[in-house]
Chain A
Amino acid sequence: MSVKAEVVIKNHSGLHARPAALFIQTANKFKADIVVSSGVKQVNAKSIISVLSLGARGGTQVTIEAEGPDAEQAVKDLVFLLATIDEGE
C-alpha cells in the first residue's frame, strides 16, 4: 500500500539539526519504506544525512511517500510533525 501527502514545513529553519533528527526518529518508528522529496530531490526519510541533504527550509513544500503495512499512519504522523514543529524542538 502506497500513501502520499504534501505538507509545508512550518518552522523557520526547516529540516535542519534537531527537527531533522526528530523527523527521522518518527520515520524510524514505522516498518514502511518512506521517502521525502523537495523539488526534484527525493531521499530516504529514515537516514539523517539524506534528510539533511534535502536542505528543506521553513515554508518549503515537501512530499512524503510511504509504502508498507503502516504507510498511512507513517505519512499522517510525519505530516503532522512538519506542520506543527516548533523552532525550539
Chain B
Amino acid sequence: MSLNSSQVKKVMLEIGETVEKNKEFLTELDLAIGDADHGINLTKGFRAVATKLSATETDDIGEIFTLVGMTLVGNVGGASGPLYGTAFMRAGSYAAGKTSLIADDFVGILEAAIGGIKMRGKAEAGDKTMLDALIPALNAFQEALKQGITVHGALTKAVEAALAGVNYTKEIQARKGRASYLGARSIGHQDPGATSTYLMLRTISKAVQTQGQPEK
C-alpha cells in the first residue's frame, strides 16, 4: 500500500486546515519575536492552495507539490512564502512523474525540502528556523526505518523529533529573519516557523496513519 495522488492532495488540504486551526497560535508566537503575521500569512497561502488544488486534475504528485509551492510563493507574503514555497517546489522536482509515494519517497521529499530551505534562507540547523524541526524529523525517520520499525512508527518518531526540535528553538538565539534583530532576547521563545513545520509533519503523519500504510 502507498499514498496515491488523491491522498497526497487530501493531505495538502488537511495541512491547510491545521494551519487555519492554529492561525492565532502561530501569529501569537510570531508576535513575540517576529512581525505577528505567520499564522495569517500561512492561512492565506493554504486557502489559495485549496482553490488551486480543487481546479487541477493532475495525478502527478510532482505537479501537485509544485503547484502548492508556487501558490505559497505568490500568496503568503512573509518569509514563509518563499521558504515553504521553495521547499514544496523542490519536493515537486523530486516527485516529478510519480503517482504514488512510498516511505523512501518521504525521505527524498524531506531531503529536497531541507535543501530548498537552506538555499533560500541561507540557514543551517541551529539558526532557530523551520530547519530545527525538519532536520531532526528526517533523521529520526531514517533511523527508525533502519531499526526496522514500521512506517507508521517511524512517522511517529519523526513527529516527536520535530516537536523536540521546536522545544529546542526556545533555548537558542535566532540567527535568521526578523527575530534575529532581537539577538539574545529571542531566547525563551519558540520559533513560529519550526512550529508550523511540526504541525505540518504531524498532519502528514496522522493522515498517513488513517489513510494507508506506505510501502517500505
Q: Do chains A and B touch in the complex (CB under 8 A)?
A: no
Residues of A within 8 A of B (CB): none
